[in-house]
Homo-oligomer: A and B are copies of this chain.
Amino acid sequence: MKKLINAADSVVEDALAGLAAAHPALRVRNRVVHRADAPRPGKVALVSGGGSGHEPLHAGFVGHGMLDAACPGEIFTSPVPDQIIDATQAVDGGAGVLHIVKNYTGDVLNFEMAAELVEDVEVASVLVDDDVAVQDSLYTAGRRGTGATLFVEKIAGALAEEGAPLAEVARVAREVNERSRSFGIALTSCTTPAAGRPTFDLPPGEVELGIGIHGEPGRTRVPLAPARELVAVAMAAIHGDLPLRDDLLVLVNGMGATPLIELYVVFAEVEAIVRGKGARVARSLVGNYVTSLDMQGFSVTVCRLDATLTRLWDAPVETPALRWGR
């Protein structure tokens, strides 16, 4: 394993120091990253968080028009309730706080505990579970939250910035999740700093289908194929669950170590399939946004837009990783 780190157990701390130094509009303390201008009186605040190793998610999405605070846990380990409580109290402007939680047992439990313990703040919660690679069932942990998290954070963040009340922000956040689906494919595993070697072995010539964002293996392993075929697999899985129709917001996401040139090759195939179904890529994003350390591979996330969601997606945002309109 070769990594640009000082020590395996200081990675999160060191990276947060870098984040703070690079972005004067953010404040970082006690493992909470929040907007320097928080709390904003009267505005619903958005708090998210999860394990580290998914950068720029979540801390890179803190800023105007998106999150008010993020709680980074250890690598691939959800944050602890104290962080979430701190963040919630730090950014509450009196209008309540929305917790955006990816559907993993650890994230769910820690956010639930925090929500129970936090005092004098109205808290609502939205669970993101967009990954169609995982079967949805009452008897399992359910689907994982992956790329749609970015959509939920951006769109709910824009609505909160407009002054909408907590219930409305939460409703739209849930709607975005319900309208979104993802599927991911890995060319390589990732290596956590603590483990020091790849989480799983993936021989040359094989890829993992249906991976998540924690280096966990996928549902099946198949031979490496041209991008066109891999994209077809991902899009079929998505389309089978949520038919591709009308205007779509599409994220072609790298897993952390995927060169941009390859993501554009993937995007061309995604767009062709969308067009082939008579639908339209109305908005898109291509890049490494919801990552799994140094994993190579991609995921596609699709959200069915309507006029309101499109307007909110287009609204100004100013964060380290997403910025437009100001």
Give the B-binding residues of A (Cβ under 8 A): 1-7, 11-12, 14-19, 21-22, 52-53, 55-56, 60, 187-188, 204-205, 207, 224, 226-228, 230, 256-269, 271, 281, 284, 286, 288, 291, 293-294, 296-298, 318, 320, 323-326
Contacts and interface: CB of A to CB of B under 8 A. Distances in A.
A143 to B, nearest CB: 24
Given A6-B269, A18-B286, A259-B294, 17 more contacts: A2-B187, A2-B207, A3-B187, A4-B187, A4-B227, A4-B258, A4-B298, A6-B226, A6-B228, A15-B264, A17-B268, A21-B268, A21-B284, A52-B261, A55-B260, A256-B259, A323-B324
A2 B224 contact: yes
A192 to B, nearest CB: 11
A22 to B, nearest CB: 5
B6 A265 contact: yes
A53 B261 contact: yes
Contacts of A7: 226
27 contacts: A1-B204, A2-B204, A4-B187, A4-B258, A6-B265, A11-B261, A14-B264, A14-B268, A16-B264, A18-B267, A18-B268, A18-B271, A19-B264, A21-B268, A21-B271, A22-B281, A55-B261, A257-B258, A257-B259, A257-B296, A259-B291, A259-B294, A261-B293, A294-B296, A324-B324, A325-B326, A326-B326
Contact of A266 (B4, B53, B187, B204): B4
Contacts of A19: 264
Contact of A14 (B227, B284, B298): B227
A256 B261 CA distance: 9
A263 B320 CA distance: 13
B55 A259 contact: yes
B52 A4 contact: no
B266 A21 contact: no
A204 B320 CA distance: 32
B263 A4 contact: yes
